[in-house]
Structures are given as structure tokens and as C-alpha cells.
Structure 1
Amino acid sequence: MHAPRFRVLAALAVLLVMVMRVEAQATYDVLLRGGHVIDPRNGIDAVMDVAVAGGKIAAVRAGIDPGTAKQVVDVGGLYVTPGLIDLHVHVFATTGVRGAWAGDSSVLPDGFSFRTGVTTMVDAGSSGWRNFEDFRRTVIDRASTRVLAMLNIAGFGMLTDVPEQNIHDMDAKATADMAGRHRDVVVGIKSAHYQGPEWVSVDRAVEAGRTAGVPVMVDFGYFREERPYYKLVGEHLRPGDISTHMFRGPVPYVDADGKVLDYLTQARARGVLFDVGHGGGSFVFRTMVPATRAGFYPDTISTDLHTGSMNAGMTDMLMTMSKFLVVGMPLQKVVQASTDTPARVIKRLELGHLSVGAEADIAVLRVLDGRFGYADGARGTLAGDRRLACEMTLRAGRVVWDWNARSGTDYRELPPTYGVRDVDRIIVPPRP
């Protein structure tokens, strides 16, 4: 009477041994098969396979034998890119301060990264030298997302706008010293939201950046006659420094004929970088559309992620990227501005590419065709026929987002008791 049961168990044992042998012989942990790979760093723009082993990129080429991988994921018809790098976010959500960028307006990174293909976030000045170590302890070191940081030149960072007006607490030496002590995660200095007529916030940030050997990002704050924007990008920023919120309303961009103004092309020629930093109110189609159609593309695409922007026109990284796609920026350039270039800007050349040996941070994207509406930060709208969506994200070789369950197994093919832990017992109530 036990023979059928014995035969089933024996068959399962044989199957298990076969699976173990296959896995023991497998070269790769994961194989993403048949996707269109866009890897600007390596000049790849073609249908290829991407293999992952030990959390690293193991191979990128066409025709990898699926029998060499423990897990094969069909990504045909999709785009495979390096994990996206969002250069401007606010994720210091652990201060408990109401209404502050470093507080309730920040978001915790893991809830808003992987679902949009983002594997690396750079917090743009939420903390300063006085509270950075608390930020690191409570957010950076606890996140699965790779979180890097730019230190605010204001000692307390963005605990409301008030600390960012205190020029007596803009200590270039203390800021540079803190950056030096945390060189593994601090990648820049930030000046933001300054309201006064002086250049002190910008200039001290540049001083700190020079001492620490890192770039400076400037959110220009209030646009005043005493310190015009053209002087920021033309005189005060160094090559490699970043002007974020590049399409903010007060920034003069094009002349009456739609030509990009000379001061912008001159600033770019001397090495100043332009970042999107969409935000809740720092992006207008009025300047973005003519500038982009004229070929003045952003060096880096970023979100300025916080509760106000994610619940408004910005939405997320892919929505921001899509806005440039629909007004004529080629997909390859959009990807480059979201992967390779931001990695270079923050001097983290190990990021932003799919080179063999690199950490396997990967985004699998779909380009949706249809009728879509887009909003800027000032009630302006734009219609478009394409939109990017994230199908899958891998962080260090592990699938951390899988929109359509591509990496899973049909439940009908799994053992009858799958989902039951060793410590659990299935207890069926007795029949009456």
C-alpha cells in the first residue's frame, strides 16, 4: 500500500539530484536573455544577453547558452541598462521634523528606488556637517539602495529653510573635514535655497568642494539682481560643478528665435554641468522643450525626489526620463544621462555600466506606446506618445523588483506544499 508513495518520493529524490547537478554545473546565477542592451560606457546598443554570477556582471554578449545559468529570464522586447542613478533626492526621513526636506518631506529610499530601476540615489544636501553622521546611521547604512550623499554647506542641512540662511554656520573647513571622514559615501557639497544677495553660500560650498576634492551642486535659491544666474554658471562654478534645477522658471534659456542663449553653451564648454532636478516646482516645459529640441540636453537627469514632487508632476525617475524622450532626446542619451554620466560626475567610475566584473546593478525597462500626459512643476502640461516603465531591477545581482513576475515560477509547477516553512504544520480540521 506504500509502493505508490515510495515511487513518488524516489522520483522526487532523483529530480532533486538532477537539479542539484545542473546547479552545480551552472556558470551563472541569472541570465537575462534576449534584451536590447544599452550600456553607454561600453558603447553597447544591441540585442545581447547579460549573465550574472556572484553579484557581479559575468558576461555580456549574444548567444549565451541558457543551460549555463541557474535562472533564465526572458527579456526579449525590453531594454537592459545599468541600474539608474538618481543624482538628486531627499531621503533623510528620520529627523522627525515636520515640513522639512530633512524630515517629513523626505522619503525612505527603498520604497521609491527599485520600482523605477534606480539602484543608486544621491541625497542632495539634506544633511550638513553637524547631522550627517545621524543621517548615515539611520538611513544610508540601513538601506538596500546604494545611498550616497552631498553635504549641505549649512551645518544642519535642510532642517527647514532657516539653517540654510545662517551664513555663520556655513563652515567650509568643517564640511570638508566631514566629507573626508566619510569619503566612501560623501560625493559632493550642496548649496541650496539661499535667499540673501551675497554669494557666500555658493562660494563657501565651492571652497569646501575644492578642499575635499568633490564637485559642488547648487540649487540657486532665490533669483536676485545682485547675483544673476549667468554669473553662477559663468564665474562661480568650477568645471565639474553642477547647476541643478536647470529648467527652473527664472533661468533664461532661449531667445525669441528659440536659440539657446550663448552664456549657457559657454558655461557648458568650460565644464559646468547641468542637472534636471525636476522637483515639485523647479521644472517648466516653457524652457525645457525648446532647449531640448535645440539639442541642449541635460548632462544628468534626476528627480529631486521628496513627498511634494513625487505626488505632483515629477512622479518618479522614469516619468522624468520619459519627458525628455517624448520631446526628442534619443533613448540612448536619456539612459546615458541617468547612468554613466552621473557616475562620472560623482567620480564613482565603478557605477553606471555593465562591464564584466562590475556590481550587477541592472534595470530592465519597457517603452510603452500610447497617449500619455505629462506635467511640469508649474501647471504646464505636455502630450506624448511614449513612456518608460520598469519591468525588473537587480541590485548586486539580486532581483529586487519584478513587475510582471518574470523571475518566478508558475505556481502549478511548484511542489504541493510550497510556501510552507519547516516550522509550519498544515492542520486540516477533522471531518464531522
Structure 2
Amino acid sequence: MNDLLLRNALVHDPSTSTSREAHVAIDAGTIVSLDASDTTPARHVLDVEGAHVLPGLIDLHTHYYRWSTPLGYDPRRYSFRDGVTTIVDAGSAGALTLPGLVQTARGIGRGNLFAFVNLSTIGIIHNEVGELHDLRTADIDLLAEAIEENRDFVVGIKLRLSRWVNGEDPGNAREALRRALAAGERTGVPLMVHVFDPSLALIEILDALRPGDIVTHVFSRSRESVVASQENWDALLRARARGVVLDVGCGRGGLDFSVGREAIARGLYPDTISSDLTEVTADGPVFGLTATMSKMLAIGMPFEEVLRAVTINPATVLRRPELAELREGAVANLAVLAVERGSYEFEQLQFLEQVVETVTHDQSVRALATVLEGRVVVGDARLSTQEA
């Protein structure tokens, strides 16, 4: 007898771009069968007819460090209720505060938890005080040491290039970028660059990035955007051609609907969709990763591309393709999603202007259940559950 059976699932394997109807049998935390004719009994049976079952979602940009930063949220209250089984903190901790984030992850005790470590040794400690106004905090020796000591946890370096983080002087931002790239070369990890309202020209940032580096908030709009000029757009295409990863990083102002819609209309989809979830946005307007997926659907991104952007694509960025596997023998980390039909309104705050932008759509993605290491940690009351 198996532990769990998900019956009548529409199973998606983004790693092979295939989907089929099947029962998903799980035992001892592992997928043991993907077979529509499997009649092996199970202790718990969940009828998910009409729902999409795919590898547990990966949120590449969040802030779950709760005790050193005002941004930190509890994944057990939000992400694990949203189909997410892999969560990456994007720069909340620097080299000096990273031990606390490691302890936070251990305390959560489940899921796949990783982090980009901030270029600044102090990380993000205050919403109104940027961590890189004084570049004495950008100590790449301490950064490299922290990465070496936490190779199983640290997946890259985070650099926030915003005026409120490193000031109005483009020279300061340029030096911060130089140090971050040098640290990435030294340690062999990618750099995630936040490009919301930078003091340095967007073209200069994009042209400096290496294959595997990540631009987050790629569809943001501040004093400029990737679609604001042909020169910016060409720089974005050059970066993409080199292998630079384009990440949504929704957040309060990280996704501008008009910028994203224009880029998608030109045929460019982001590689990864992330929420940039924090304690102050978890109850709106961000809500979580499935809400961000819904927003991307609403501005024209195809459903299959959306699924890849929260599974196989971020798994590839993390250099852990097994996180997006859905096959017999794989760890049973799964998302059970419904695509609901109706009339839905999605809001997004334009941060600098403090204006709410609204988009409506006839579809909304919602997590019905999350299977974490073989256990249903969240279920929807409408799902039919049977116990043997």
C-alpha cells in the first residue's frame, strides 16, 4: 500500500515539455508511479480531476529572513500554501548576517531553501537606509569566505542597484557592480542584479553581465525601462543572447504591466517568474507566486511558458535540475494548480508614483494543494479526499 495517490491528474513535466493524464502514486516521500491505470491502494487518496500537477514551484526571489530585516516573511504561512517547495532568499543577508539566515532556514525545517548573499556585509537591515551608500560594507573577501563556507545553501550574489540603496552617484553604483562581478568570478556563482531605479544607466548594467547572471525586476519602470528606448531594448537583447537570465521579481514595483505587456508583444518572455514576496506584500498586492503567474498570464505570457518559468527554468538557474523533475523515483515535491475561469482583477503598485495599476483577465492560477516530500501540507476543501 502506498502513502498517497493523486487521482485523475493532468501531469506536466516541464523538463520534457510533455503533459498527460495519470494517477500519481507516492510512497515514502518518492513518486513511485505515473500511470493512469495504477490500482495500487493508498492510505490517502486525493481526487484532483481537472487540476494541473507539476513539480513543486520554485520562487527565485523572495525575502524570508525574518529577524534581521523588516522584509522577512514566514514561508510556512505563505509559500507552502501556494504550491511552492523551493524558496530562494534574494539578498536579505550579507556575509556578516548570513549565519542567522542559515539558522532561519534550518528552523523552517522543510522545503528546499537557498539564498543569494548580499554584496553588502550587513545585508538589508532597514527600508529607509540603503546597504551600499558606504562601499566599505562591500567587502568581497568576507563575501567569498561566506560563500565557500555555505556552498550547499548560497546559490549566488545579490546586488541592489537603486538610488535609495547606493545613492545618486553613478560612480558608487559602478564600483559596486565591479566588485560584485569580481566576487562572482572568484567564487564561480552567478550575480542577481536588482535594476529598479538605478543611478547607473541600464545599458551599462546589462552590457556588464555575464552568462548565467540574472536581471531581476526586468519589467520595472522607474526613470527608464527596457522598452523606454531602442538602445535599452537592444542592450536587453544582447544580454539575453549572451545567456543573461531575465527574472520578473514582481514585488511592490518590480513589475510594470505596460512594460511587461510591450516586451511580450515583441516576443520576449522572461526566463523566470518570481514574486519578491515580503512580509509587507504577502497579504497584497503581491500575495505570492501563483498570483504573479496570473499577472503574467493577464499581460499575454502563454501558459506553458509560465509553467516553465516557475519550474525547469529556475531549476536550471540554480544548477539543480532535479528540483523540476516529475518522474518515477523523484522526490515527491508537487504543486496541484487550478486555472480558474471568470473575471479577475490584478493590481500592481507603481512604487515611485505610488499609483496602483490594474489589469483584468479571464483566468487565475490558484494552488489547490502542495505536496512536500510526499505529504499534503495544504489542501483545498473542494478536493475529494478518501482514506483507506
Decide: shared fold, TM above 0.5.
yes
> Residue 102 of structure 2 aligns with which residue?
136
Distance in 2 (CA, whole Å) between partners of 1:145 and 1:237 is 30
CA shift for structure 1 position 409: 4.6
Between 1:286-295 and 1:306-315, the stretch displaced more is: 306-315
* Greater share of strand: 2
Distance in 2 (CA, whole Å) between partners of 1:154 and 1:168 is 8
> Residue 422 of structure 1 aligns with which residue?
none
Q: Does 1:77 align with 2:50?
A: yes
Distance in 2 (CA, whole Å) between partners of 1:232 and 1:93 is 30
Distance in 2 (CA, whole Å) between partners of 1:293 and 1:260 is 16
CA shift for structure 1 position 230: 1.4
Q: How many residues align?
A: 373
Q: Does 1:146 align with 2:112?
A: yes
Q: Which runs of 5+ in 1 are unaligned?
A: 1-25, 96-101, 414-432
Distance in 1 (CA, whole Å) between partners of 2:98 and 2:201 is 31
CA shift for structure 1 position 218: 0.6
Q: Does 1:176 align with 2:153?
A: no
**How do 1:76-155 and structure 2 match up within 5 A?**
76-95=49-68, 102=69, 104-155=70-121
Q: Does 1:201 align with 2:176?
A: yes
CA shift for structure 1 position 247: 1.1
The question of whether the paired residues in 1 share the 8 Å contact of 2:47 and 2:385 is answered with no
Q: Which runs of 5+ in 2 are unaligned?
A: 351-355
Calculate the TM-score normalised by the size of structure 2: 0.90
**How do 1:12-51 and structure 2 match up within 5 A?**
26=1, 28-51=2-25
The question of whether the paired residues in 2 share the 8 Å contact of 1:177 and 1:212 is answered with no
Q: Does 1:218 align with 2:193?
A: yes
CA shift for structure 1 position 53: 1.8
Higher alpha-carbon Rg: 1
**How do 1:156-175 and structure 2 match up within 5 A?**
156-160=122-126, 161-175=129-143
Between 1:303-312 and 1:210-219, the stretch displaced more is: 303-312
The question of whether the paired residues in 1 share the 8 Å contact of 2:131 and 2:166 is answered with no
Residue 388 of structure 1 aligns to a residue in which SS?
Answer: strand
Q: Does 1:54 align with 2:28?
A: yes
CA shift for structure 1 position 295: 2.1
Amino acid across the alignment from 2:266: A
Residue 351 of structure 1 aligns to a residue in which SS?
Answer: helix
Between 1:115-124 and 1:247-256, the stretch displaced more is: 247-256
**1:383 pairs with 357, 360, 364, which one?**
360
Distance in 2 (CA, whole Å) between partners of 1:59 and 1:329 is 32
Deviation digits for residues 157-188 of structure 1 (CA, Å, limit 9, x no counterpart): 00123333221121122212211111111111
**How do 1:272-351 and structure 2 match up within 5 A?**
272-351=244-323
> Residue 189 of structure 1 aligns with which residue?
157
The question of whether the paired residues in 2 share the 8 Å contact of 1:32 and 1:49 is answered with yes
Residue 110 of structure 1 aligns to a residue in which SS?
Answer: coil
CA shift for structure 1 position 408: 4.2
Q: Percent identity?
A: 35
Distance in 2 (CA, whole Å) between partners of 1:174 and 1:163 is 15
* Aligned Cα root-mean-square deviation (Å): 2.1
- Where relative contact order (Cα < 8 A, 6+ residues apart) is larger, the structure is 2
Distance in 2 (CA, whole Å) between partners of 1:299 and 1:145 is 23
Between 1:41-50 and 1:167-176, the stretch displaced more is: 41-50
